[in-house]
Amino acid sequence: MNREIKNKTKRMIYLILCIVLFFVFHFIPVFLNKAGLSQYSGIFSAFQYACCLVLVVTNQKRGIITSIILLTISALNLVRTIFIMGATNAVSGLSNQIFYLITIIMLGDIFAKQEKAAVTDSLTELFNRRGLHKKLRDSIEDNKPFYLVDIELGNFKLLNDSFGHIYGDRLLKKAAERIKSHIGDRGIIARKSSAEFVVILKDTENAEKDVNKLLDELKEKIVISSEGDYLDCYVTAFAGIVSFPGDSDSYENLLKYSDMAMVEALHTNSQSACVFKPEMEKSIKRRAELEHLIKEGIENNYFYLVYQPQYILEGKKLRGFETLIRMKLPGGTFVSPGEFIPVAEMSEQIIYIDDYVIQRAMKEFRDVVLNDKPDLIVSVNVSARNIGAVGFAEKIKQFLRDTGYPAKNLEIEITEYCMVSSLNTTIDNINALRSIGVQFALDDFGTGYTSLNYLAKLPVNLLKIDKSLIDNIETDRQKCEFVNAIISMGHLMGCEVISEGVENEQQLSKLGDTNCDFIQGFVWGKPFDYEIAKSLALV
């Protein structure tokens, strides 16, 4: 409100100044002429020009228009003096006046270009951060309802690091074009930071539906070309929405809340836009705390490993173990990986965690595998960020050399999210490691949204049916048939199949009627500490 009063006052002062100048510019030349003081008209026109320059510098856009009007008035006065009053000595004054006009117009053009450049993002030609701030302030002053939408391309950094800046820039341009074509003239679009866009969405009947449609469009395949090479990219896009004036009428809060809602979408891996809710502030604080704890944990070793057994369904013979990380704080509090892994996955911290787990598990089981159990499989979870990075395969080969652990006894669990990050690099990494014997499992199968056609591209050996599909399988006939169909499909794809999260005998008996190969779940074994897992392996 304060700002509005200030702006109104400024506008009034400017208007009064213009009116005063108008009279000065119009009457003084007439007065000088009538009083026979035309020798002073040169000084006066220089004074006029100086006034115009001050107007232009202090109030660029309006200053230029006002100056052009004022200088034109003076020029017309001179034309009248020359042609009606026959004062030919005023010709040089007129030519000066025309020169002033041209310089003011040129200055206006330079300023306009400068102003545009100052608020435009040179890569995407959208508004930049400064432009966004200006447009957002203007929209608030207009006082008409709008939505502020924050959109982040979640996997951009990974793609940029993997394929280089030229591809990265092209990807951003294409994403910006998609946003532009979806929003059209219904809003104002800005690039807030590297892969973060903000839309001031003004004309929409249902903002959530509208933004979800935009997210779907952004997630469609983007083909990037460079020097004859073509690259298929899939971006992950997350969005947060806040409404003006419903959620806030403050400029700072609108930006903060839309960012919070976007971060919430990012952390919960929400495929649709998150609408801001006041409770979000709490979960963001917790995530910041976890980020700090992970950092501390890396420095002070809060992490350790547990191993959950996997069995061959027929005959309950041990197949191997899934390695699972645990975090214990100095006070004795445990933090569940379900809570800290998603936070670590938002940054490079996950790379450290994954690499630590892989090396440690291989070191712990190397002797068991080499001396006693040559068929034992130790599986490790690897995040999309890691498997999708160039150099992952080489890194694992180095770990294998360093630890002396046999490649064929290592299984890497990936999830389908690695497909939306960088499919080609992921596949290259998998193929490079499969060629030396490393096995791959597709974790949490049945929870994602990727089409089967697409999933079939991932060269994995094992499908892990997610616990959510196993839950209630003993009572839900339809679900049971569904699981059965997945198992047959897995076999058709040339994979073995494991059911995870099997909790009771009834589920086990239902799975016994299927062709499921392996079982992992509390029914036959919870995750154990290393010593227990080792003794289980040596039985």
Binding interface with ligand C2E (CB under 6 A): 308, 324-325, 336-338, 341, 353-354, 357, 381-383, 413, 443-444, 467, 500-503, 520-522, 527
User: Which of these, 164, 174, 284, lies nearest to 237 by C-alpha position?
Assistant: 174
The entry of ligand C2E, Mg ion, none that residue 337 binds, CB within 5 to 8 Å by partner kind: ligand C2E
Structural contact between residues 527 and 476, judged by C-beta atoms closer than 8 angstroms: no
The entry of ligand C2E, Mg ion, none that residue 131 binds, CB within 5 to 8 Å by partner kind: none
- Residue number, 75 or 294, with CB nearest to ligand C2E: 294
Point out which residues pair with 196 in neighbouring strands.
152, 193
Residues contacting 151, CB < 8 A, separation 6+: 179, 196, 197, 198, 199, 211, 214, 215, 218, 237, 238, 239, 262
d(CA 49, CA 57): 12
Q: How far is the CB of 463 from ligand C2E (least distance, A)?
A: 13
- Residue number, 243 or 381, with CB nearest to ligand C2E: 381
- Residue number, 233 or 502, with CB nearest to ligand C2E: 502
Beta strands in 48-195, from DSSP E residues, in sequence order: 146-153, 187-193
d(CA 110, CA 104): 10
Is the torsion defined by CA of 68, 74, 79, 84 positive or negative? positive
The entry of Mg ion, ligand C2E, none that residue 93 binds, CB within 5 to 8 Å by partner kind: none
Q: How far is the CB of 382 from ligand C2E (least distance, A)?
A: 6
Residues contacting 136, CB < 8 A, separation 6+: 148, 200, 251, 254, 255
Q: How far is the CB of 61 from Mg ion (least distance, A)?
A: 59
Q: How far is the CB of 118 from ligand C2E (least distance, A)?
A: 44
Element (H, E) at 275: strand 274-275
Q: How far is the CB of 181 from ligand C2E (least distance, A)?
A: 37
- Residue number, 63 or 521, with CB nearest to ligand C2E: 521
Q: How far is the CB of 341 from ligand C2E (least distance, A)?
A: 4
Point out which residues pair with 325 in neighbouring strands.
305
- Residue number, 264 or 466, with CB nearest to Mg ion: 466
The entry of Mg ion, ligand C2E, none that residue 333 binds, CB within 5 to 8 Å by partner kind: none
Tell the residue number behind the tokens 């191993």, with chain if given. Answer: 307
- 3-class SS at 303? strand
Select from 359, 381, 383, 386 the one that contacts Mg ion (CB under 5 A): 381
The entry of ligand C2E, Mg ion, none that residue 140 binds, CB within 5 to 8 Å by partner kind: none
Task: Tell me what percent of the chain is helix, strand and coil, each rounded to the nearest 5.
Answer: 60, 20, 25
d(CA 440, CA 188): 45
- Residue number, 187 or 320, with CB nearest to Mg ion: 320
245 preceded by cis ω (within 30°)?
A: yes
Region near Mg ion per CB under 5 A, out of 71-79, 122-130, 304-312, 378-386: 378-386
Which ranges in 184-320 belong to alpha helices (H)?
A: 207-219, 251-267, 280-300
- Residue number, 171 or 357, with CB nearest to ligand C2E: 357
User: Which of these, 372, 436, 442, lies nearest to 406 by C-alpha position?
Assistant: 436
Region near Mg ion per CB under 5 A, out of 287-295, 329-337, 353-361, 376-384: 376-384
The entry of Mg ion, ligand C2E, none that residue 522 binds, CB within 5 to 8 Å by partner kind: ligand C2E
Q: How far is the CB of 293 from ligand C2E (least distance, A)?
A: 16
Count H helices and E strands in the chain, helices first.
20, 16
* Cα separations in angstroms, 203 against 48, 132, 188, 241, 329: 45, 18, 11, 14, 50
d(CA 268, CA 172): 24
The entry of ligand C2E, Mg ion, none that residue 341 binds, CB within 5 to 8 Å by partner kind: ligand C2E
d(CA 273, CA 262): 8
The reply on whether position 443 binds Mg ion by CB under 5 A is yes
Select from 413, 416, 474, 517 the one that contacts Mg ion (CB under 5 A): 413
- Residue number, 89 or 269, with CB nearest to ligand C2E: 269
The entry of Mg ion, ligand C2E, none that residue 318 binds, CB within 5 to 8 Å by partner kind: none
Element (H, E) at 520: strand 518-520
- Residue number, 108 or 501, with CB nearest to ligand C2E: 501
The reply on whether position 444 binds Mg ion by CB under 5 A is yes
- Residue number, 125 or 503, with CB nearest to ligand C2E: 503
Number of residues that bind Mg ion (CB under 5 A): 4
The entry of Mg ion, ligand C2E, none that residue 198 binds, CB within 5 to 8 Å by partner kind: none
- Residue number, 211 or 325, with CB nearest to ligand C2E: 325
Q: Strand order in 237-244's β-sheet?
A: 187-193, 196-201, 146-153, 237-244, 274-275
Structural contact between residues 128 and 119, judged by C-beta atoms closer than 8 angstroms: yes
The entry of Mg ion, ligand C2E, none that residue 157 binds, CB within 5 to 8 Å by partner kind: none
User: Which of these, 151, 153, 155, lies nearest to 423 by C-alpha position?
Assistant: 155
- Residue number, 187 or 501, with CB nearest to ligand C2E: 501
Q: How far is the CB of 182 from ligand C2E (least distance, A)?
A: 33
The entry of Mg ion, ligand C2E, none that residue 503 binds, CB within 5 to 8 Å by partner kind: ligand C2E
The amino acid occupying position 41 is S
Q: What is the DSSP letter of 451?
A: -
**In the numeric block, which tokens belong to residue 257?**
């809340």
Q: How far is the CB of 354 from ligand C2E (least distance, A)?
A: 5
Q: How far is the CB of 375 from ligand C2E (least distance, A)?
A: 22
Q: How far is the CB of 471 from ligand C2E (least distance, A)?
A: 9
Beta strands in 333-433, from DSSP E residues, in sequence order: 334-335, 377-381, 410-414
- Residues contributing to the site for Mg ion (CB under 5 A): 381, 413, 443-444
